[in-house]
Structure 1
Amino acid sequence: MNIGVPVMVLLTKIDKLCERIDTDITFCYKSEALMKAVYKAAQLFKVPESYVFPVQNYTECEMNPKIDILTLLALQHMIYIGTDFLHSIELSDDKDENKDNLPKTAEAETQDLVDFINFNEFKGIFL
Structure 2
Amino acid sequence: MGNAFNKKRRSSPETFPEPWRNIPWNHKNTDLQVVKDYHPRNNEVQQIRILLHGPSGSGKSGFFNSVDSTLQGRVTGQAAPDAISHDSFTQKYKTYKIQKGGPGTPYPFVFTDIMGLDRDANRGVSVEDIKLAMMGHIKDGYTFNPIAKISEDDNYYNKEPTLKDRVHVLVCVISADTSNILSDEHVEKLREVRLAARDMGIPQVAILTKIDEACPEVKKDIKNVYKSMYVKKQMEKIKVALGIPESYIFPVKNYHSEIDTDDDTDTVILSALRRIINFGEDFVNNL
Superposition TM-score, scaled by structure 2 size: 0.30
Alignment deviations for residues 12-52 of structure 1 (CA, whole Å, 9 cap, x no partner): 00012321110111011011111011111222332111111
Identify the residue that residue 121 of structure 2 maps to in structure 1. none
Give, in angstroms, the shift of residue 80 of structure 1: 1.2
1:82 aligns with 2:266: no
> Per the alignment, in what secondary structure is the counterpart of residue 10 of structure 1?
strand
1:3 aligns with 2:200: yes
- Map residues 1-127 of structure 1 onto 2, 5 A cutoff: 2-58=199-255, 59-89=257-287
Q: Work out the CA distance in 2 between the residues paired with 1:11 and 1:81.
A: 18
Q: Work out the CA distance in 2 between the residues paired with 1:65 and 1:18.
A: 20
Q: Which amino acid aligns with 1:77?
A: R
Structure 1 vs Structure 2 CA RMSD: 1.4
Higher share of residues assigned strand: 2
> Per the alignment, in what secondary structure is the counterpart of residue 40 of structure 1?
helix
Give, in angstroms, the shift of residue 81 of structure 1: 1.4
Could you tell which deviates more after superposition, 40-49 or 66-75? 40-49
Identify the residue that residue 112 of structure 1 maps to in structure 2. none
Alignment deviations for residues 39-71 of structure 1 (CA, whole Å, 9 cap, x no partner): 112223321111111000112121111111111
Unmatched tracts of structure 2, length 5 or more:
1-195
Give, in angstroms, the shift of residue 85 of structure 1: 2.4
- Show structure 1 runs of 4+ deviating over 4 A: none
Count residues in correspondence: 89
Q: Work out the CA distance in 1 between the residues paired with 2:241 and 2:253.
A: 20
Q: Work out the CA distance in 1 between the residues paired with 2:224 and 2:247.
A: 18
Q: Work out the CA distance in 1 between the residues paired with 2:244 and 2:283.
A: 15
Superposition TM-score, scaled by structure 1 size: 0.64
> Per the alignment, in what secondary structure is the counterpart of residue 56 of structure 1?
coil
Q: Work out the CA distance in 2 between the residues paired with 1:75 and 1:13.
A: 16
Q: Work out the CA distance in 2 between the residues paired with 1:38 and 1:26.
A: 17
Give, in angstroms, the shift of residue 83 of structure 1: 1.5
Q: Work out the CA distance in 1 between the residues paired with 2:232 and 2:222.
A: 14
Q: Work out the CA distance in 1 between the residues paired with 2:205 and 2:274.
A: 12
Q: Work out the CA distance in 2 between the residues paired with 1:74 and 1:52.
A: 9
Could you tell which deviates more after superposition, 66-75 or 34-43? 34-43
